[in-house]
Chain A
């Protein structure tokens, strides 16, 4: 019988035994699965890079607005000095806070230093209340308007940064993305201004 099978062309055409066929199919399936996994891995990794770049881009946007505020502060101090020379303490606090903010580099320090600067600038506004001539001066009004506009831009830039951080963090932390993220992609911190003035809840008195 075996001899007949070896010689018969019809039986040869049926092909290899079923065990070999199954093995080939399994090999192909594994190769396809590995290929799909590699494609997913690369695509996911690239999406992390894009999201991280967006976070960095948003941070540079925050940085630009903060630098614009730093550039404005010396002019503001000089203007106030012209009218309120006795407010040395407030002006020194602003100058020191600005120097600290300029020197800060990582988001945590920047947040702390900027909150301090915002608080010190609040002191200048309080000083201005006591000097009607200062409040009436055109240059002070212009600077204050510019400062208000910049603070608005800083808030907006901060919101963009925090939204990007949230999107990035969610992307790298959800399963199975976290397997790809590993240690190469670390979660970023939010940029939160820990200013007591900002956090204070306004007291409403009902009489």
Chain B
């Protein structure tokens, strides 16, 4: 993600910038020498302003390199780069915490030229304020969210996420710890059970759930190198992995995983539709 950071930094820290920073530092140093009568303030002032300038430009170069990375990646995924944006707080993860932020937002049809639902791939994080009023550290994710309207009557709440190891993963905030708390569901695979935690809304049709979690889907999820989780509620599908992913290969793999999960959800909706229509 920051492959071109050094190049941007060098461009920003041109000879002219260094000269201006040195002059400004010297001016500051002379003023300090005049005020305190110590000659050491002169090189100290120069060093201070130069260091501040370098830190500022290093940070800015990081941002530029990040934007450049996503701007070049987005077309390869069939998406458009929007820099920033928002995600509707529909699924529990997207409405978690007290404040939420999206960066490096890419948007476009899920299946590229073939169309499909509009998907938003972004770096997302939420922050929680604890009972003492202290803000907890941000919890970062890479998410791919899309609206699948047809899933609205079929999936009332399906939440799949990696099983937290020794309580470390959810130490900050469990976004599914809400009323009414979804019910845990056991599937037939021991490997899957060790890796994932599946919870569903209390009124979720279990037959449809088992149609979605077919053996091939269970095996696919268990063997996927990124171990993606997903949430499907109120016609919104959110696929996610922890942390802000900055590797192009991993992001491509994640986008493909989101496509596969969406394909599975759509297939389950299509096969469940006659039953839902009859029930309705």
Contact = CB atoms under 8 A, between A and B. Distances in A.
Interface in A149-186: 152-157, 159-160, 163-164, 167
B36 to A, nearest CB: 72
- Top 7 nearest A-B pairs by Cβ distance? A156-B215, A157-B215, A156-B216, A57-B188, A156-B219, A160-B189, A58-B188
Contacts, number: 42
A153 B214 contact: yes
A156 B190 contact: no
Contact of B190 (A60, A152, A153, A164): A164
B216 A152 contact: yes
A156 B188 contact: no
| Interface secondary structure of B, over-half rule | helix
B127 to A, nearest CB: 39
Contacts of A112: none
A194 B188 CA distance: 24
B64 to A, nearest CB: 46
A54 B190 contact: yes
A121 interface: no
Interface string B172-207: 000000000000000011111100000000000000
Given A60-B188, A159-B219, A163-B190, 11 more contacts: A51-B190, A54-B188, A54-B193, A58-B188, A61-B215, A153-B215, A154-B215, A160-B189, A160-B218, A164-B189, A164-B190
A65 B190 contact: no
Interface residues of B, number: 12
7 contacts: A57-B188, A58-B189, A61-B215, A153-B214, A154-B215, A163-B190, A164-B188
Nearest to A158: B215
A155 B217 CA distance: 12
A58 B216 CA distance: 13
Interface residues of A, number: 18
B214 A160 contact: no
A163 B215 contact: no
A156 B191 contact: no
Contacts of B191: 160, 163, 167
Contacts of A159: 215, 219
A163 B216 contact: no
Contacts of A156: 214-216, 218-220
Contacts of B189: 54, 58, 160, 163-164
A60 B189 CA distance: 12
Contacts of A54: 188-190, 193
B209 to A, nearest CB: 14
A164 to B, nearest CB: 5
B263 to A, nearest CB: 13
A60 B210 CA distance: 13
Contacts of B220: 156
Indicate the member of B189, B191, B215 with the most A CB atoms within 10 Å. Answer: B215
A153 B219 CA distance: 10
Nearest to B214: A153
